[in-house]
Amino acid sequence: MSLRSTPVTDHSGIEAGQNLGTWQTLKRGVQLSPELRKGIWVTVALAMLSTLGRVLIPFVVQRTTDEGILATGGPDLAVVLRYVLLALVGVAITAFSSYLVNIRLFTASENGLSSLRIRAFRHIHDLSMLTQNTERRGSLVSRVTSDVDTISMFVQFGGLMLMINIAQLTLATVLMIIYSPLLALVVWVCYIPLFVVIRQFQGIVGRAYTTVRERVGDMLGGISEAVVGAATIRAYGVEDRTAARIDEAIDQHRRAAIGAQARAVVAFTSGQLVSGLTTAVVIVVGTLLAVRGDLTLGELLAFLFLVNLFTTPVQQATEILNEMQNAVAGWRRVIGIIDTHADVADPGDDGVDLPRGPITVDFDDVRYAYPGGDRVLHDVSLRIEPRSRVAIVGETGSGKSTFAKLLTRLMDPSDGVVRLDGTDLREIRFRSLRSRVVLVPQEGFLFDDSLLANITFGAPDATPDEVLLTLTELGLDGWLSTLPNGLATDVGQRGESMSAGERQLVALARAYLADPDLLVLDEATSAVDPSTEVRIQRALDSLTRGRTSIAIAHRLSTAQAADEVIVVDKGRIVERGHHTELVGRGGVYSGLHASWVSQQRG
Amino acid sequence: MSTLVPHPSAATLRRGFGVIGQGIREQPRWFTVSVIGSTIYGIMTGGTAYVIGKVTNETVAPAIAARSVTSGQLWHAALLLAAVVVLNVIGIVVRRVAAGVAVFNLGAIFRRRVTRQYLQLPLSWHHRHPSGQLLSNANADVEATWNVFNPLPMAIGVVVMLVFAAVQMFLVDVFLAVIGLTVFPALFLVNIAFQRVMSPKVTRAQQLRAEVSEVAHESFEAALIVKSLGREDQEAERFRAVTHELRDANIEVGRTRGVFDPAIEAIPTLGTLAVLAVGVWRVSTGHLTAGEVVQIAYLFSILAFPVRALGWVLAEMPRAVVGWDRVDAVLRATGSMEHGSAALPRAGASELRADDVSYSYEVADSGEGDGLPGRHRAVSAVTLDVPAGGTTALVGPTGSGKSTLTNLMMRLVDPDTGAVLVDDVDLRSVRRGGISEVAALVAQQTFMFDDTVRGNIALGAERTDEEVWQALRVAQGDGFVAHLASGIHTRVGERGASLSGGQRQRIALARAVIREPQLLILDDATSAVDPSVEQAILGALRESAAGTTVLVVAYRMATIALADDIIYLEEGRVVDHGTHAELLGRCVGYQRLVTAYAREAAERAAVAADEEPPRPAEPTDPRELRLREEERAEAALTRADDENVAVES
Closest CA to B569 of B410, B376, B380, B414: B380
Paired residues of A362 in beta bridges: A383, A419
| CB-based contact A14:A134 (threshold 8 Å) | yes
| CB-based contact B175:B277 (threshold 8 Å) | no
Instruction: Tell me what percent of the residues of chain B surpass a pLDDT of 70.
Output: 89
CB atoms within 10 A of CB B76: 14
Q: Give the C-alpha separation, B265 to A160, whole Å.
A: 15
CA dihedral angle for residue A440, residue A442, residue A447, residue A452, rounded to 10 degrees: 50
Who has greater pLDDT, A554 or A25? A25
Determine whether the interchain pair B257/A102 forms a contact, defined as Cβ–Cβ distance below 8 Å: yes
Who has greater pLDDT, B603 or B488? B488
Q: With respect to residue A46, please indicate whether it lies within any of the assigned structural domains.
A: yes
Q: Give the C-alpha separation, A107 to A35, whole Å.
A: 9
Q: With respect to residue A393, please indicate whether it lies within any of the assigned structural domains.
A: yes
| CB-based contact A409:A335 (threshold 8 Å) | no
SS3 A363: strand
pLDDT at B98 over 90: yes
Is residue A318 domain-shared with residue A365, that is, in the same domain? Answer: no
CA distances from B417 to B379, B386, B533, B571 (A): 10, 19, 39, 17
pLDDT reported for residue A255? 96
CA distances from B237 to A124, B242, B323, B522 (A): 14, 9, 32, 43
Q: Do domains B10-331 and B352-586 have the same CATH topology?
A: no
| CB-based contact B540:B474 (threshold 8 Å) | yes
Determine whether the interchain pair B139/A246 forms a contact, defined as Cβ–Cβ distance below 8 Å: no
CA distances from A601 to A411, A535, A597, B606, B644 (A): 39, 20, 6, 19, 10
pLDDT band at B269 (very low <50, low <70, confident <90, very high): confident
Question: Could you state, in order of their start, the residue ranges of all structural domains in chain B?
Answer: 10-331, 352-586, 620-649
pLDDT band at B543 (very low <50, low <70, confident <90, very high): confident
Closest CA to B138 of A226, A260, A388, A514: A226
Burial label, B350 (beta-carbon count in 10 A; 0-12, 13-18, 19+): buried
CATH number at residue A385: 3.40.50.300
pLDDT reported for residue A545? 57
Chain B residues closer than 8 Å to A465 by CB: none
Is residue A368 domain-shared with residue A222, that is, in the same domain? Answer: no
Q: Give the C-alpha separation, A212 to B93, whole Å.
A: 20
Q: With respect to residue A8, please indicate whether it lies within any of the assigned structural domains.
A: no
Q: Give the C-alpha separation, B236 to B254, whole Å.
A: 26
Buried b vs exposed e over B625-649: b needs ≥16 C-beta within 10 Å?
bbeebeebbeebbeebbebbeeeee
DSSP letter (8 states) at residue A460: T
Is residue A148 domain-shared with residue A197, that is, in the same domain? Answer: yes
Is residue A454 domain-shared with residue A497, that is, in the same domain? Answer: yes
pLDDT at B123 over 70: yes
pLDDT at A529 over 80: yes
pLDDT reported for residue A418? 94
CB atoms within 10 A of CB B75: 11
| pTM of the predicted model as reported, rounded to 2 decimal places | 0.78
Shortest CA gap B8–chain A (Å): 24
Closest CA to B47 of B90, B80, B18, B76: B80
pLDDT band at B186 (very low <50, low <70, confident <90, very high): confident
Determine whether the interchain pair A145/B212 forms a contact, defined as Cβ–Cβ distance below 8 Å: yes
pLDDT at B6 over 70: no
Q: With respect to residue A345, please indicate whether it lies within any of the assigned structural domains.
A: no
For B496-516, how does the pLDDT look when each residue is reduced to its tens digit (9 = 90+)? 777 877 889 899 999 998 988
Determine whether the interchain pair B298/A304 forms a contact, defined as Cβ–Cβ distance below 8 Å: yes
Chain A residues closer than 8 Å to B132 by CB: 493
Q: Phi/psi of residue A600, each to 5°? A: -85, -20
| CB-based contact A389:B604 (threshold 8 Å) | no
Q: Which CATH architecture has domain B352-586?
A: 3-Layer(aba) Sandwich (3.40)
Burial label, B515 (beta-carbon count in 10 A; 0-12, 13-18, 19+): buried
Range of the domain at A252: 14-338
For B219-229, how does the pLDDT look when each residue is reduced to its tens digit (9 = 90+)? 888 888 888 88
Cα separation of the two ends of chain A: 49
Buried b vs exposed e over B244-254: b needs ≥16 C-beta within 10 Å?
bbbbebbbbbb
Contacts A–B by Cβ distance under 8 A:
547
DSSP letter (8 states) at residue B407: H
For A379-428, how does the pLDDT look when each residue is reduced to its tens digit (9 = 90+)? 889 999 888 889 999 877 788 888 888 999 999 999 999 999 999 999 99
pLDDT at A225 over 60: yes
Q: Give the C-alpha separation, A233 to B412, whole Å.
A: 10
Q: Mean pLDDT lowest for which of B100-114, B158-172, B416-430?
A: B158-172
Average pLDDT over residues B545-554: 82
Determine whether the interchain pair A110/B596 forms a contact, defined as Cβ–Cβ distance below 8 Å: no
pLDDT at A9 over 50: no
pLDDT at B622 over 50: no
pLDDT reported for residue B22? 93
Contacts 24+ apart (CB under 8 A), A261-266: A261/B96, A261/B97, A261/B100, A261/B104, A262/B97, A262/B100, A263/A201, A263/A204, A263/A205, A263/A208, A264/A205, A264/A208, A264/A209, A264/A318, A264/A319, A264/A322, A265/B92, A265/B93, A265/B96, A265/B97, A265/B100, A266/A201, A266/B93
Q: Give the C-alpha separation, A120 to A333, whole Å.
A: 10
pLDDT at B274 over 50: yes
Average pLDDT over residues A445-461: 89
Domain-ending residue, one of A305, A338, A371:
A338
Mutation target among B54, B109, B136, B225 for the A interface, most CBs of A within 10 A: B225
pLDDT band at A456 (very low <50, low <70, confident <90, very high): very high
Average pLDDT over residues A355-370: 90
| CB-based contact A88:B273 (threshold 8 Å) | yes
Q: Mean pLDDT lowest for which of A7-21, A45-59, A66-80, A529-543?
A: A7-21
Determine whether the interchain pair A107/B251 forms a contact, defined as Cβ–Cβ distance below 8 Å: yes
For A185-197, how does the pLDDT look when each residue is reduced to its tens digit (9 = 90+)? 988 898 888 878 8
Is residue A445 domain-shared with residue A325, that is, in the same domain? Answer: no
pLDDT reported for residue B638? 39
Paired residues of A367 in beta bridges: A415
Q: Give the C-alpha separation, B154 to A309, whole Å.
A: 22
Where does residue B476 fall: left (phi above 0), alpha (psi -120 to 50 degrees), or beta otherwise? left
Mutation target among B119, B251, B580 for the A interface, most CBs of A within 10 A: B119
Q: Give the C-alpha separation, A387 to A547, whole Å.
A: 5
HSE-up (13 A, CA, CB side) for residue B246? 29
Closest residue in B to A488 (Cα) is B367
Average pLDDT over residues A136-141: 75
For A149-179, how does the pLDDT look when each residue is reduced to its tens digit (9 = 90+)? 888 888 877 777 787 788 888 888 888 898 8
Pairing of strands B391-395, B565-570: parallel
Q: Which residues contact B62 (CB under 8 A, 6 or more apart)?
A: none
pLDDT at B619 over 60: no
Nearest to A80 among B280, B559, B561 (CB): B280
Closest CA to A406 of A395, A414, A398: A414
Q: With respect to residue A127, please indicate whether it lies within any of the assigned structural domains.
A: yes
Q: Mean pLDDT lowest for which of A237-251, B396-410, B526-540?
A: B526-540
Q: With respect to residue A354, please indicate whether it lies within any of the assigned structural domains.
A: no
pLDDT band at A542 (very low <50, low <70, confident <90, very high): low
pLDDT at B69 over 70: yes
Nearest to B598 among A291, A514, A600 (CB): A600
DSSP letter (8 states) at residue A545: G
Determine whether the interchain pair A280/B60 forms a contact, defined as Cβ–Cβ distance below 8 Å: no
Cα separation of the two ends of chain B: 61
For B517-533, how does the pLDDT look when each residue is reduced to its tens digit (9 = 90+)? 899 999 888 777 776 77
pLDDT reported for residue B218? 85
SS3 B4: coil
DSSP letter (8 states) at residue A155: I
Determine whether the interchain pair A434/B228 forms a contact, defined as Cβ–Cβ distance below 8 Å: yes
| CB-based contact B583:B648 (threshold 8 Å) | no
Provide the number of structural domains found in chain A. 2
Instruction: Tell me what percent of the residues of chain A surpass a pLDDT of 90.
Output: 18
CA dihedral angle for residue B205, residue B211, residue B215, residue B217, rounded to 10 degrees: 100
CA distances from B163 to A212, B298, B301, B308 (A): 38, 16, 16, 16
Shortest CA gap A575–chain B (Å): 19
For B334-379, how does the pLDDT look when each residue is reduced to its tens digit (9 = 90+)? 766 778 888 888 878 889 999 999 998 876 554 444 445 567 788 9
Q: Return mean pLDDT, chain B.
A: 82
Q: Give the C-alpha separation, A301 to B60, whole Å.
A: 10
Average pLDDT over residues B420-439: 90
Shortest CA gap A380–chain B (Å): 23
CB atoms within 10 A of CB A196: 9
| CB-based contact A353:A548 (threshold 8 Å) | no
Closest residue in B to A87 (Cα) is B273
Most confident region among A443-452, B77-86, B397-406, B529-538 by mean pLDDT:
B77-86
Q: Give the C-alpha separation, B154 to B564, whole Å.
A: 73
Closest CA to B498 of B480, B515, B516, B514: B480
pLDDT at B121 over 70: yes
Q: Which residues contact B167 (CB under 8 A, 6 or more apart)?
A: none
B59 Cα distance to chain centroid: 63
pLDDT reported for residue B394? 92
Tally the residues of chain B: 649
What residue type is assigned to position B478 of the chain?
Answer: D
Q: With respect to residue A355, please indicate whether it lies within any of the assigned structural domains.
A: no
Q: Give the C-alpha separation, A107 to B254, whole Å.
A: 8
Is residue A276 domain-shared with residue A379, that is, in the same domain? Answer: no
Shortest CA gap A257–chain B (Å): 7
pLDDT reported for residue B20? 93
Is residue A385 domain-shared with residue A319, that is, in the same domain? Answer: no
Is residue A321 domain-shared with residue A375, that is, in the same domain? Answer: no
pLDDT reported for residue B429? 92
Is residue A113 domain-shared with residue A251, that is, in the same domain? Answer: yes
Q: With respect to residue A356, please indicate whether it lies within any of the assigned structural domains.
A: no
Tally the residues of chain A: 602
Average pLDDT over residues A205-210: 83
Q: Return mean pLDDT, chain A.
A: 84
Closest residue in B to A547 (Cα) is B618
What residue type is assigned to position B54 of the chain?
Answer: K
Q: Which CATH architecture has domain B10-331?
A: Up-down Bundle (1.20)
Closest residue in A to B76 (Cα) is A284
pLDDT at A74 over 70: no
